[in-house]
Amino acid sequence: MIIELAHADLREDPRLTDYTRLKDVKLRSRIEPERGLYMAESATVIERAIAAGHRPRSFLVSARWLPTLRPLIAAATGSFEDGEVPVFVAPEEVLERMTGFHLHRGALAAMQRPQLPSVVQLLTSAQPPQPTRRVVVLENLVDHTNVGAAFRSAAALGIDAVLVTPSCADPLYRRSVRVSMGTVFQVPWTRLESWPGDIALLRDAGFTLASLALCEDSISLDDFAALPALRGPDARLAIVMGTEGHGLGKHTIAASDYTVKIPMDHGVDSLNVAAASAVVFWATRGVGA
């Protein structure tokens, strides 16, 4: 259903409440989960969301990009012009005034949030029929960019599932989704209900728990990746990555089987959590072999 938007102030239009004040991170981080929606930005991200089976509530499209997005909209709604899902269209300058930012590639979609799987389900088999071998726990990351980047590395380097702690930033927030290039729809994930309490679930499922932290007893990532405990068909690994400012909580480190550090040169002691995740995911890709 194509709906042309007028040039008047659209911020008060009740049909467009999903899209207004998108730059207000605190506001959107609260109201989007409450409304059961998230924002997919750019044709690539929207396409991956739809391919994952997520349902669009509506589209917001620049008039200039509408012809390019026509096949995608038709595939998602069943019809380009007569589908039941609204497709709001306006010039880019109008959309920028309404949303508060420049639309990347001229397209947004308000998507219905999928129901998250249970933690036990992911730990058993994130992508049936294959068993879950490697998971990452993102502990209290507050930067949506880092969350999105960690998901992209997880997808590229074969992580089976991502678990986020109760205080971790929303993986389905617009910036997280965009930075992940839509891979947040491809890597199974869910939110833990209690942390570090849910460490018990990882232990019950037979996971070796490794925390990435600089401690006196930290072992080199090279040495860790070569441990016999990570070899064999029954090996399972949970990697815990900490918040940007303070790292991992002391209770998390105390409950871990290993504390691991990345060897570095030139006096550098640590990497950004997004960069560190890629290094660790690559180094541990042989788990279960």
Q: Is residue 200 located within the same domain as residue 180?
A: yes
What is the pLDDT confidence band of residue 190, given thresholds at 50, 70 and 90? very high
Domain end: 112, 140, 172, which one? 112
Q: Give the per-residue pLDDT at 83.
A: 76
- Per-residue pLDDT, averaged over 65-83, amounts to 81
Mean per-residue pLDDT of the chain: 88
Distance between CA atoms of residues 83 and 53, nearest Å: 17
Q: Is residue 268 located within the same domain as residue 225?
A: yes
Q: Is residue 174 located within the same domain as residue 224?
A: yes
In a domain, 103, yes or no: yes
In a domain, 171, yes or no: yes
In a domain, 289, yes or no: no
The answer to whether the Cα torsion of 78, 83, 86, 91 is positive or negative is: positive
pLDDT at 267 over 60: yes
**pLDDT tens for each residue of 143-157:** 999 999 999 999 999
Distance between CA atoms of residues 94 and 9, nearest Å: 8
CATH number of domain containing 128:
3.40.1280.10
- Per-residue pLDDT, averaged over 5-27, amounts to 73
In a domain, 288, yes or no: no
Three-state secondary structure call for residue 58:
strand
Q: Is residue 126 located within the same domain as residue 75?
A: no
pLDDT at 9 over 60: no
Domain end: 87, 112, 137, which one? 112
Q: Is residue 132 located within the same domain as residue 81?
A: no
Distance between CA atoms of residues 280 and 157, nearest Å: 10
In a domain, 232, yes or no: yes
Among the listed residues 225, 167, 244, the one whose alpha carbon sits nearest the alpha carbon of residue 198: 167
Question: Looking at per-residue confidence, does 147 or 214 come out higher?
Answer: 147
pLDDT at 38 over 70: yes
User: Distance between alpha carbon 229 and the CA centroid of its chain, in Å?
Assistant: 29
What is the pLDDT confidence band of residue 24, given thresholds at 50, 70 and 90? confident
**pLDDT tens for each residue of 89-127:** 888 777 777 777 666 667 889 999 999 999 999 999 988
Whether 262 and 221 have beta carbons less than 8 Å apart is answered as yes
Domain end: 64, 96, 112, which one? 112
Number of domains composing the chain: 2
pTM here?
A: 0.88
Domain that holds residue 73: 2-112
Q: Give the per-residue pLDDT at 239.
A: 97
- Per-residue pLDDT, averaged over 48-64, amounts to 89
In a domain, 185, yes or no: yes
Phi, psi of 136 (to 5 degrees): -120, 140
Which residues are paired to 161 by β-bridges? 135
pLDDT at 169 over 60: yes
